[in-house]
Structure 1
């Protein structure tokens, strides 16, 4: 098992960041930017309450070490579910995250949080445990999966920066 923690700093308040995370257009942009060959996005609920983001994406398996590529083939199907609780008065919120690679015994489970750090700044944190149940190659697969997840979250940071630049802060009541 490998512990993984990734932090994204967002140049917008937590309430606006929550609206961004719940916007299907934003979610689709980050999935496409991750290199998805095929994808599906489903957002249920609203940013003003609890919401769930579920995505499926097919990615090329070239990031997986050659010795374990036989387990997954030439593409990997990644399912991600983020279940966000309703926001706190300051816009912060907590949730859970699960990432699974279909057809491979690889799974990440953990917590996610959106924290205000200033009037125009917030922090998105993913913290969880990654486990690959593959004899002999489990740790190599965990390391490769961790690199892929970190890479996808790095892309998400770039997409979020563009989104915030294009959309600005949400109007506050």
Structure 2
């Protein structure tokens, strides 16, 4: 199932990438409601590339009830973004999200570009759930959950930029 989320942020792209190299910012951004960040690694390289790895837990309430028995009451989610070295005015990367211990994955791209009011971050990918009979329902729930989390992260970035963290 396809997932596409666009975030418009009031910050220059190079400033946002600098923030994303700061582990405190990354953890703050990822600490959305009902989510606990269990671990994070921010690994900037000398060529300007950047790898961000997050491990967090969240309630399984968005997962269909008939599948929840297989995953438990909390989900452990691993989120990895690998950003390539910057190109003039643009940054590109890959993103992978997996629910540990389940056959549910999201893989795709992430991009950052200049915009009139700051920058635009775009996540574009595919969510798959290799679960017989319930795969489509789980994919739909996973897409909705990822969209909610990414929207909440946009709010956290805006709060950080406004100094109200």
TM-score using structure 1 length: 0.89
Structure 1 outlier segments of 4+, above 6 Å? none
Report the CA distance shift for 1:38/1:13 in structure 2 as closer, same or farther (over 3 A): closer
Q: What SS class does the counterpart of residue 112 from structure 1 fall into?
A: strand
Report the CA distance shift for 1:155/1:88 in structure 2 as closer, same or farther (over 3 A): same
User: Is 1:130 the equivalent of 2:127?
Assistant: yes
Q: What SS class does the counterpart of residue 70 from structure 1 fall into?
A: helix
Report the CA distance shift for 1:21/1:48 in structure 2 as closer, same or farther (over 3 A): farther
Pairwise CA distance, 1:87: 1.5
Aligned partner of 2:148 among 151, 166, 172 = 151
How many positions carry a matched residue from both structures? 164
Q: Unaligned 5+ residue runs, structure 1?
A: 168-173
Q: Determine the C-alpha separation between the residues in 2 that align with 1:93 and 1:127.
A: 14
Tell me the equivalent position of 1:117.
115
Q: Determine the C-alpha separation between the residues in 2 that align with 1:69 and 1:31.
A: 23
Report the CA distance shift for 1:70/1:47 in structure 2 as closer, same or farther (over 3 A): farther
Contact 1:31–1:39 (Cα < 8 Å) also in 2: no
Pairwise CA distance, 1:34: 4.3
Q: Determine the C-alpha separation between the residues in 2 that align with 1:140 and 1:152.
A: 18
User: Is 1:65 the equivalent of 2:64?
Assistant: yes
Larger deviation, residues 40-49 vs 20-29? 40-49
TM-score using structure 2 length: 0.93
Report the CA distance shift for 1:8/1:38 in structure 2 as closer, same or farther (over 3 A): closer
Q: Determine the C-alpha separation between the residues in 1 that align with 2:70 and 2:23.
A: 32
Q: What SS class does the counterpart of residue 61 from structure 2 fall into?
A: helix
